[in-house]
Amino acid sequence: MNNEQIESLTTNYDSRIYIAGHMGMVGSAVWRSLEAEGYTNLIGKTSRQLDLRDQRLVMDFISSYRPDIIIDAAAKVGGILANDQNPYPFLMENLQIQNNLIDAAHKYDVAKFIFLGSSCIYPKLASQPLKEEYLLTGSLEPTNQWYAIAKIAGVKACEAIRKQYGKDFVSLMPTNLYGPNDNFDLQSSHVLPAMIRKFHEAKENNHAPVTLWGSGTPMREFLHVDDLAQAVVFAVEHVLPEYLYNVGTGSDVTIKALAETIQAIVGHRGEIIWDSSKPDGTPRKLMDSSKMQALGWEPLNSLEEGIRQTYKWYLEYKD
């Protein structure tokens, strides 16, 4: 498959594009990217303005605004601990949000729907790198299975509408994301932003030692959120031939190498202590994003440069 085989749409910079979750890390990046491309009719509502868990409110909103495109970047998200301790809201609230949006988009003939999910939809023990066809071939990671099941339901709902009605509903599954507007709360953040904060605070504390979980040997893939946003713009401007695409860099690093890179960028000169009593998690989690890249999208930010940008953002906005 190559980029000559996909249909490019006539770009209409006036298209009404509703970005659900436009205040979050992903939604705000999508907003910035679309705005930079010249799109002038972007629609966003905060959770206070529109509770996406309320079906009637969502139906009324879509029927009033009649967007041409909906990008679903809204979700209840959190780290392993939050997922494990709150299984019901992570399942139910995510189902409510996406089901309301997908159903309203279908009922009011929204031309294009882009559903954003997560690599956690794939089985815990699937072969590496993770391919789209591995979906539903094995058991999920137990700690975040509730979130994963909700996202799988969203993928399948979009696939069902695509299959039955021929509508342009597509799902993009990003790998581990980081960048501006990330969550740096140590209780609920993911590994990369947590490391940025830990190394920065340790530097400020006379380069105190930093303790990190596990052995540092697991391998993880990281994608700058602006690269995901460009994948979303690509999906806005093309009719993608399949219902599901992975979005990642295709390369990964050890947690130890990640820590050393962040330490160098932050300027921390203290010791790194690896607490091997804490779990490592899955040994490796790499996605195969060759289908998306074959269509013509590719990530542009190197991990080192992306971390530099993110640290700069953190310094500016952390207070």
- Asked if pLDDT for residue 186 goes beyond 80, the answer is yes
- Tell me phi and psi for residue 29, to 5 degrees: -65, -40
- Has residue 62 been placed in a domain? yes
Residue 167 sits in which domain range? 7-182+222-251+284-301
Active site annotation includes 18: no
- The tokens for 23 are 């205040």
pLDDT given for residue 4 in this prediction = 47
Q: Which of 147, 178, 243, 311 is catalytic?
A: 147
- Has residue 41 been placed in a domain? yes
pLDDT for 29-73, tens place per residue? Answer: 999 999 999 999 999 999 999 999 999 999 999 999 999 999 999
The model's pTM: 0.94
pLDDT given for residue 3 in this prediction = 44
The pairing of beta strand 7-8 with beta strand 238-239: antiparallel
- Has residue 258 been placed in a domain? no
Average pLDDT, the chain: 95
* Segments in the chain forming alpha helices (H): 25-37, 55-65, 80-85, 87-107, 145-165, 191-204, 225-237, 255-266, 290-295, 303-317
Share of the chain above pLDDT 70, in %: 98
Helix (H) or strand (E) holding 224: strand 222-224
How many domains does the structure of the chain reveal? 1
- Has residue 306 been placed in a domain? no
Binding residues for NADP(+): 21-27, 116-119, 151, 174-177, 190
- Has residue 76 been placed in a domain? yes
Residue 109: exposure state from Cβ atoms within 10 A (0-12, 13-18, ≥19): exposed
- Has residue 114 been placed in a domain? yes
Measure Cα distances from 147 to 40, 76, 187, 235 in Å: 33, 8, 18, 24
- Has residue 78 been placed in a domain? yes
Binding residues for substrate: 198, 213, 220, 280
- Asked if pLDDT for residue 9 goes beyond 60, the answer is yes
pLDDT given for residue 5 in this prediction = 63
Residue 33: exposure state from Cβ atoms within 10 A (0-12, 13-18, ≥19): buried
CA distance 148 to 91: 8
Cα dihedral across residues 297, 157, 281, 200: positive or negative: positive
pLDDT given for residue 2 in this prediction = 45
Average pLDDT over residues 110-131: 96
Average pLDDT over residues 300-314: 97
- Has residue 45 been placed in a domain? yes
Residue 87 sits in a domain of what CATH number? Answer: 3.40.50.720
